[in-house]
Amino acid sequence: MPYVYFTEEQKERANSTDLVDFLHRQGEKLLPSGRDKRLSSDHSITVRGNSWYDHEIEKGGLAIDFIKYFYGKSFPDAVSTLLNGEQGIPYEQSEKRKEEPQRPFELPPASPNMRRTFAYLLKVRYLDNSVITAFVKAGLLFESLENSKDGAKQYHNAIFVGRNKEGTAKHAHKKGIYTYGQGFRGNLPSSDPKFSFHWTGTSDMLYVFEAPIDLLSYISLYKKKWEQHSYVALCGVSSQPVFQLLQDFPNIKKVRLCLDHDTPGLKSAVRITKQLLEKKYTDVKLKLSEYKDWNDDVKALHGQLSMPPEEPTGALQEDIKELLNMA
């Protein structure tokens, strides 16, 4: 096989390919994740400009490495793909990223009332009113009122706040509460991932979820003395919030992983379990929703159509069996 030579200029152009533009052209669905985009097909991978990062294996890089990693291509094929595309279409080039100064974290302005958020959480998500009220009173949930970029419109969103041990807001997850169209969902810029949306109780038990709605759904299903336990929503796939809580609250000894009942959620459960065992946390168990996630379980109780779970296959199936059988 002849050696394919690329000049430094060619490799630089290939590495500067905007991965968001590239993936859209490949038909990949991308989800908002703060200033990044997350792959719908693999929630652990985020992209921004010409860079990428896989949070599950803690590895990342630039465009050429991404094509090699994600599509399994050789170096020459990866460079050729980025320079020309399969149909010879030149891809949009990302501007060289300048180091952006980190903006201080701040919460968006609050709406004078929470009428829309309560309506959404109660009538669309079927959450328990007393549970929602408890999080509102604790300063962990409010409704924002934000101007559009052109100032012509105002938008209401549910804001799920993450606070550090001292009670200072360090993280916020925004969820659109409009029932039509594709609602916005993502973490606010400059959010510290270690302090995502959570509740801390006094017991030794911590429940871990992917999203705030899942967390609130689980509590709505299992309300008996729920306040005494701790709960955290990862607001992504990073395990940082789990280990921050374990550090801040050493009384927590037991962890229950309640992630989504689909392939990305189960993969994350396996990864986090291994990390916990390495840290000598031995009382770790997997709890699976009946449907795809805990809010689907809540909806099903109210006669609403719910998504079925996605059962694991292959090596993941064996890993999940082992987790379910852990003593």
Per-residue model confidence (pLDDT) at position 98: 63
Q: What is the pLDDT of residue 224?
A: 94
Residue 235: which residues within 8 A CB-CB, separation 6 or more? 160, 162, 171, 173, 187, 191, 193, 196, 197, 210, 211, 212, 241
Q: Which tokens belong to 132?
A: 């929602």
CB 290 within 8 A of CB 309: yes
In this structure, which topology does domain 115-324 adopt according to CATH?
Dna Topoisomerase Vi A Subunit; Chain: A, domain 2 (3.40.1360)
Domain ranges of the chain: 8-84, 115-324
Helix (H, G, I), strand (E, B) or coil at 184: coil
10-residue averages of pLDDT along the chain (327 residues): 64 87 85 82 84 82 89 82 55 61 87 96 97 98 88 88 97 84 75 94 97 97 97 89 96 96 91 92 95 97 93 89 80
CATH code at 8-84:
3.90.580.10
Burial (0-12, 13-18, 19+ Cβ within 10 Å), 325: exposed
- The three-point CA angle 138-230-224 to 5° equals 85
Integer Cα distance of 6 and 293 in angstroms: 47
**Per-residue pLDDT at 145:** 92
Buried b (16+ CB within 10 A) or exposed e, 224-234: eebeebbbbbb
